[in-house]
Amino acid sequence: MIIRLRLKKMYISAVAVLFFFFFSAPALNPAINGRTVYLYWFIPILDIFFCRHIVSAISGKTAIKVVIVFLALSAACILRGEGLIWLRICVTIFTLYYLFYARQNNIFRYLYATCNFNILIAVCQFVLYYTNRAAAYALGPSNIAKLVWGKYATDTFTNMYSIWGNNLIRVSGWSREAGFFASFLIGVFLCYLNDEEEKSCFKRRLQYCLFFTAFVISLSKMTFMIVPILIVWMFRKQINQFSAMAVWGLYMLFTVCAASYLDHIGFYTMPNISITNRFIGYYIVGQLPIGQFLFGFGEMKNIAAPVLRENPMLYALTSDGLNLCGWSGLAQYFGIIGVLLFLCVLRYLNFSTSGGLILLLMTFNVSLYHVTSYVVLAYWIGMNEKNTMKKKRIVLPDKVYGSDKVYGIYSQIGRDQQ
């Protein structure tokens, strides 16, 4: 019986390692017709105990909520004819379910292990850049992706250069590029801050040193988003005393005002194209006519904001099939009404005020329906933030492994997902 139990644990752990490996290294996932197919969408199916877990969880209270939300979002996507967004919603929900399952069964720690592996790859890239530049590029995501998948390699960018005008270059490990790597590090760092499973003071300090090293060698604009995110996390108890919809609405208003101010001072020029790409969506939303503001406009070619034609660069960007970032990307296809309904869905799923704000901040540079790993982590953190404030420690029976043996202590969120 003990041998059988251990074999089951090894089997579940092996699937988890495989899942988190591709979850942490997006460059190793293939692409078909220019679209990345993330292997971690399919790997959980290899775990028959996870499949049983999904079936048994269908009758749970939380699962019923998820089904209702899924049907509502599906209806919205069908009415707007956005099948691709619907597919992204499906795989995001599925991946989140596996993360809950991993947390319940004490295999979530493999996220940190695979992240650390990616950090070590990044450190090697950084050192090799100054000692053997050819080897550094050979270890970069673009070359590794082509080496593994050939013509089916996903789009990557080995951007080993400094964006700050000094000799400190940035690396990306096996993420798509340095900005995505920095965003992923923020997500894993927040998960680790909220995780009480690791008790060793030495191990925690070592992990924080690895995070700090990774942030330094992957320094990008998104790295600085950790400042407002940490402020929200540190003062989450106070922030959660305010109305969620009011705080989220103020954040949206702030982004529109900030984007409009940047246009007013003539910031949207070619030297600032990187930041322009992130802010242009919030600027566009503030310039839309009332009909498109309420219901969206879909493809960029349908936009009816004449003011954009006054700036040649903005016009070129909006004519290039650009997908807008953050909540403005949702407004692009569903309008401000769709954004407000999405925020209502977050409240229905028990997102706290601070949890939803962290989600909005972490998806500042990509759309809310993006399926890359750190966006999934943003939803995971938002759903779990409130539960990490009060750790109600409980003991769960080892149901997954088919034994009554007690295997660990988990948070209340784990219990709710059974």
Residue 383 above 90 pLDDT? no
Pick from 82-91, 127-136, 155-164 the range whose average pLDDT is largest: 127-136
Averaged pLDDT, 135-143: 90
Question: What mean pLDDT is reported for the chain?
Answer: 82
Averaged pLDDT, 122-146: 91
Whether the CB-CB separation of 379 and 345 falls below 8 Å is answered with: no
Averaged pLDDT, 330-344: 89
pLDDT-based confidence at residue 417 (cuts at 50, 70, 90): very low
Q: What does the pLDDT read at residue 300?
A: 72
Whether the CB-CB separation of 301 and 263 falls below 8 Å is answered with: no
In the chain, count of helices (H) and strands (E)?
19, 4
CB proximity list for 203: less than 8 A, separation 6 or greater: none
pTM here is: 0.84
Per DSSP, which regions of 268-417 are E strands?
394-397, 406-410
Q: What does the pLDDT read at residue 273?
A: 79
Which residue is listed with tokens 């340095």?
178
pLDDT in tens, 148-172: 998 898 888 777 766 655 677 888 8
243/237 Cα distance (integer angstroms): 13
Residue 401 above 70 pLDDT? no
Cβ-defined contacts of 62-66 (< 8 Å, 24+): 62/416, 62/417, 63/417, 65/348, 65/349, 66/93, 66/97, 66/349
pLDDT in tens, 60-83: 566 677 777 777 877 888 777 777
pLDDT in tens, 22-33: 999 999 999 988
CB proximity list for 132: less than 8 A, separation 6 or greater: none
CB proximity list for 87: less than 8 A, separation 6 or greater: none
Averaged pLDDT, 280-300: 84
Helix (H) or strand (E) holding 286: helix 273-287
> Which one has a higher pLDDT value, 117 or 417?
117
pLDDT-based confidence at residue 412 (cuts at 50, 70, 90): very low
Residue 36 above 60 pLDDT? yes
CB proximity list for 320: less than 8 A, separation 6 or greater: 300
State the Rg of the chain over Cα: 22
Q: Choose among 146, 111, 127, 183: nearest CA to 28.
A: 146
**What percent of the chain shows pLDDT beyond 90?**
35
Q: What does the pLDDT read at residue 245?
A: 93
Averaged pLDDT, 339-368: 90
Backbone angles phi, psi at 183, to 5 degrees: -65, -40
Q: What does the pLDDT read at residue 308?
A: 66
Q: Choose among 166, 167, 186: nearest CA to 175.
A: 186
Q: What does the pLDDT read at residue 410?
A: 34
pLDDT in tens, 245-276: 999 999 999 999 998 898 888 888 777 777 88
Averaged pLDDT, 101-115: 91
The amino acid sitting at 186 is: I
Pick from 43-47, 163-167, 299-303 the range whose average pLDDT is largest: 43-47
Strands 394-397 and 31-32, by their bridges, are unpaired
For the chain, how far is it from start to end, CA to CA, in angstroms? Answer: 24
Coil, strand, or helix at residue 300? helix
- For residue 358, the Cα-to-chain-centroid distance in whole angstroms is 11
pLDDT-based confidence at residue 391 (cuts at 50, 70, 90): very low
CA-CA-CA-CA dihedral for 229, 231, 233, 234, to nearest 10: 160
Q: Choose among 46, 17, 26: nearest CA to 110.
A: 17
pLDDT-based confidence at residue 312 (cuts at 50, 70, 90): low
pLDDT-based confidence at residue 414 (cuts at 50, 70, 90): very low
Q: What does the pLDDT read at residue 402?
A: 43
pLDDT in tens, 222-233: 888 999 999 999
